[in-house]
């Protein structure tokens, strides 16, 4: 969450500390008490679906119980993040492959080395995709249970 503070857009973590209070709530302790109202407004404006309350200790952010609809929404967001990560991996693979081909054209590596690097790169990308899929499956199981 970004807060308008001191004439600049500042992350909450730079204005105070965020700690876990219990299973469904966070405590945001702002160091400069003059920034509590701005921080509260920013959290509410972020439209996170949370309840925000200011007390003498700072700001308490309470998360609602997850409904099946909200769980499905979270799973959908997780799938979108997974796809974004896969796209990033593909872009990195394509950039690296282009660099390898350029190096070979310049005479900096043999054709055998080029294909060896390509095979190594593909193996790393496959491991990365597998790791992403496993993380997504764990997270989906965690959300649904």
Same domain for 56 and 72? no
Q: Cα-flanking dihedrals φ and ψ of residue 9, to 5°?
A: -85, 120
Q: Above 90 in pLDDT, residue 125? A: yes
Same domain for 102 and 48? no
Same domain for 54 and 72? no
Query: Given strand 16-22, what is the order of strands in its sheet?
Result: 16-22, 25-30, 58-62, 51-55
Same domain for 122 and 97? yes
- The whole-angstrom separation of Cα 76 and Cα 3 is 27
H/E run at residue 51: strand 51-55
Confidence band of 76 (pLDDT split at 50, 70, 90): very high
Confidence band of 134 (pLDDT split at 50, 70, 90): very high
- The whole-angstrom separation of Cα 140 and Cα 34 is 40
Same domain for 84 and 57? no
Same domain for 110 and 56? no
The number of folded domains in the chain is 2
Same domain for 101 and 127? yes
Question: Domain range holding 125?
Answer: 68-144
CATH number at residue 6: 3.30.1360.40
Same domain for 94 and 57? no
Residue 88, SS3 per DSSP? helix
78-121 tens-digit pLDDT: 999 999 999 999 999 999 999 999 999 998 889 899 999 999 99
Same domain for 131 and 88? yes
Same domain for 98 and 51? no
Q: Above 90 in pLDDT, residue 65? A: no
Same domain for 82 and 49? no
Q: What is the mean pLDDT of the chain?
A: 92
- The whole-angstrom separation of Cα 78 and Cα 135 is 10
Same domain for 82 and 53? no
26-37 tens-digit pLDDT: 999 999 999 999
């Amino acid at each position: 969450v970004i807060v308008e503070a001191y004439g600049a857009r500042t992350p909450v973590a730079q204005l105070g500390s965020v700690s876990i209070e219990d299973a469904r709530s966070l405590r945001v302790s702002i160091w400069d008490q003059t920034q509590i109202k701005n921080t509260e407004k920013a959290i509410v404006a972020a439209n996170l679906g949370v309840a925000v309350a200011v007390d003498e200790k700072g700001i308490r952010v309470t998360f609602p119980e997850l409904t099946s609809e909200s769980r499905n929404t979270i799973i959908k967001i997780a799938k979108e993040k997974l796809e974004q990560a896969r796209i990033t991996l593909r872009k990195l693979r394509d950039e690296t492959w282009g660099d390898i081909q350029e190096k070979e054209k310049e005479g900096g590596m043999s054709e055998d080395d080029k294909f060896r690097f390509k095979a190594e790169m593909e193996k790393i990308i496959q491991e990365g995709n597998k790791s992403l899929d496993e993380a997504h499956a764990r997270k989906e199981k965690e959300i649904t249970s």
